[in-house]
Amino acid sequence: MSFCIRKRYFANLTILIGVGLLFIQDCPAEDNNMINYPDTKRVEVVDRLHGRDVPDPFRWLETDVRESEEVAAWVEAQNKVTFQYLEQIESREPIRERLTELWNYEKFGTPFKAGGRYYFRKNNGLQNQYVLYVQDSLDEKPEVLIDPNEWSKDGTVALAGTAFSDDGRYVAYGVQEAGSDWRTYRIMNIADRSLLDEELKWIKFTGISWKPDGSGFYYSRYPQPDEEAAFQDLNLNQKVFFHKVGTPQSDDVLIYERPDEPTWGFYSDVTEDGRYLILTIFEGTDHGYRVYYKDLNSGDEAAPDFGFRRLIDSFDLEYSFVAARESTFYFITTKDAPRKRLISVDVSKPEVDWTEIVPEAASVLESVDLVAGQFICEYLENVRSKVLLYQVDGTPSDEIKLDGLGTAAGFGGRQSDDETFYSFSSMITPPSIYRYDFDTGESELLNRSDIDIEPTDYVSRQVFCESEDGTRVPMFVVHRRGIELDGSHPTLLYGYGGFEISLMPRFSITRLMWLELGGVYAMANLRGGGEFGEPWHRAGTKGQKQNVFDDFFACAEWLIDEGYTTPERLAIQGRSNGGLLVGAAITQRPELFGAALPAVGVLDMLRFHRFTAGRYWVDDYGSPDDPEDFKALLAYSPYHNLKEGTRYPATLITTADTDDRVVPGHSFKFAARLQATHAGDAPVLIRIETKAGHGAGKPTSKIIEETADELAFLVDQFKMRLPSFED
């Protein structure tokens, strides 16, 4: 599978003046609705950054909770206060029960074909993890291949990635524990379901690509970190290895390394015919890649750099490998095309001569697959999926008609296949799975989720808001049909705005639950995302990050001006970079919102690059080590911009103790400072999940519990009356 396809699922000196043991009672109980927040120690830590003294009184909360009894005690105390508050909300249990009921439906992943068999993932309803099934044909009864629910009693061990050998003998699969980004890979003999002895460890941010004969595969891994540093390891010096099936990891052959470039990461991909090894090199989160390649038939493994030849040797532009036909390679690129186009190059010719196959369009080219001798091009047209087919010479062929305005995904396969599979859903249309037949040009419905919802009961519309600088910002708004625009409706506004990630109109059980409760849901497509190509993305990065927040404020004000809600009944929500968005929003415009749900957020913008994957994010955020970037980061960093004596909206921060993507110290420090500065009577709480990470691999039971608590928190703040769920 190409790098282009896989990357979808895919970011001073400190002066210690003195460590004091000053404890403070952050907020008097009588001013905070009788909530007795835990005492939080302050330490006199000040960073001297670019000529400025920047205090960091809660620096000690950055320590891994598993390494500090003091931090663990703070976590326990905060959770005690939070859960005592949540438990007194009368609607909490009915919401959890109804959410569990809604969640209990069969969920199907998009099928794919590998080694002559069909595979798909399925969840019977409330299983903690999806189960991987196999079948020899679509007409046969599926059999369980891998059931990760058997790996742990609490469901916190997940299946995280699979790679099937071309000959159908083996599957290499990743095991993820407690939501960590680290993966341990095992190899299964598919015929008898037996596991081979070897285990491959210290793997993250990579794929696995088999040799066609099934003898082994190429992959990347990091050096083994110190045991105590594994959770916050900076992930430097990734290397490419070849693993031969049946041998221990210690015997793996080093293929490529760059000790002179410790921040580089590598993704290896064997072409479908097995002739070439494509090495895609990345440094951060930007889609700018170096591309090297090697002819595996050349026999020059002993040559410098394993005999790799350099096709693209800068990070300036995107060159995402799609597929190869003999010596012709196909790439998605942003070269001379901010909305991307498809190009090719014949590497057998002495000169590098690029040929345009599919030109740049008015819509954004999201991904390309080469299946059945045709390019399947997925476009974003005004934040909706559109799928077009082209012959290999670029001649337009057909369009895969979608069932409305929503989001399609899938479309994988091999050049020799005559079919592909995809999913489709919209804001109010449950997911459906389709098989597309290239011979007939028709799509066949295979599965449709059976969910207790009548789409005609709801309205989903796309609107446009005008941001501070006049930019038109799209937003989807969903609500029950026939509501009066009298400003009375509790409204939940969701956003992200970063890393060229597009928020698409997809179906969500959580959203359905909020609509049942009588709420209005809005999803903002902010600058920083990928909805309108590279210029839209760049306009929300580094020194222009304030555009993202201004876009968000414009969406909030539109909802108020149009009569959907009022500031007192407007909640905002975001995860990860979206957690940063929510944190910045309530520090800049606390009066505009009634409640906030920042989840696993990047909230300290001056130290994010010092932990785990944070160093990758300087592409979007800029570097705190750069004087100009520092000024912009300090201006909006949520942790640093909380002001004493401010009335902040009701806030429920959520994070997890083993999140090694955005370390929980971000949320810990923000919560401590928010409680210390807050002058209002609205609750400001933090909910800290255990044995969970950034989100991937989280068991269904934990997702339902956390979601129910967030919804109950909003219902309580907005004094919402529960409907009768039995009607």
Active-site residues: which are they?
576, 694
Helix (H) or strand (E) holding 587: helix 577-588
Q: SS3 string of 365-433? A: EEEEEEECCEEEEEEECCCCEEEEEEECCCCEEEEECCCCCCEEEECCCCCCCCEEEEEEECCCCCCEE
Which of 657, 665, 659 lies closest to 607, judged by CA? 665
Single out the residue of 565, 576, 585 nearest to residue 522, CA to CA: 565
CB 610 within 8 A of CB 236: no
364's tokens: 């954004």
SS3 47: strand
Which run of H or E residues covers position 618?
A: helix 618-621
Token pair of 53 as six digits = 């003294």
The total number of residues shown for the chain amounts to 727
Q: Are the C-beta atoms of 630 and 724 separated by less than 8 Å? A: no
Q: What ranges in 485-539 are assigned the alpha helix state H? A: 509-516, 534-538
> What CA–CA distance (Å, rounded) separates 128 from 153?
10
Range 68-92 burial, b when 16+ CB lie within 10 A, else e: eeebeebbeebbebbeebbeebebb
Cα–Cα distances (Å) from 136 to 140, 420, 446, 596, in that order, read: 7, 16, 16, 49
Give me 193's structure tokens: 């379901």
Q: Provide the 3-class DSSP secondary structure of residue 513.
A: helix
First to last CA, the chain: 47
The one-character DSSP state at 646 is: B
Rounded distance, CA 121 to CA 433, Å? 12
Q: What is the CA radius of gyration of the chain?
A: 26
The rounded distance, in Å, linking the Cα atoms of 369 and 374 is 8
Which parts of 641-714 are beta strand (E)?
Answer: 650-656, 684-689
Q: Which helix (H) or strand (E) holds 87?
A: helix 69-87
3-state secondary structure at position 229: helix
How far apart are the C-alpha atoms of 338 and 332, rounded to whole Å? Answer: 11
Angle at 393 between CA 388 and CA 397, to 5 degrees: 30
Residues 6+ apart with CB under 8 A from 626: none
Residues 546, 589 contacting (CB under 8 angstroms): no
d(CA 348, CA 145): 41
Q: Is residue 686 a contact partner of residue 78, using CB atoms and an 8 Å limit?
A: yes
Determine the Cα–Cα distance for residues 710 and 704; give it in Å rounded to an integer: 10
- Looking at this protein, which amino acid is placed at residue 631? K
Please state, in angstroms and rounded to a whole number, the distance separating the CA atoms of residues 148 and 132: 9
Q: Which residues pair with 266 in a beta bridge?
A: 281
CB atoms within 10 A of CB 726: 5
Burial of 374-409, coded b for 16+ CB within 10 Å and e otherwise, reads bbbbbbbeebbbbbbbbebebeebeebebeebbbbb
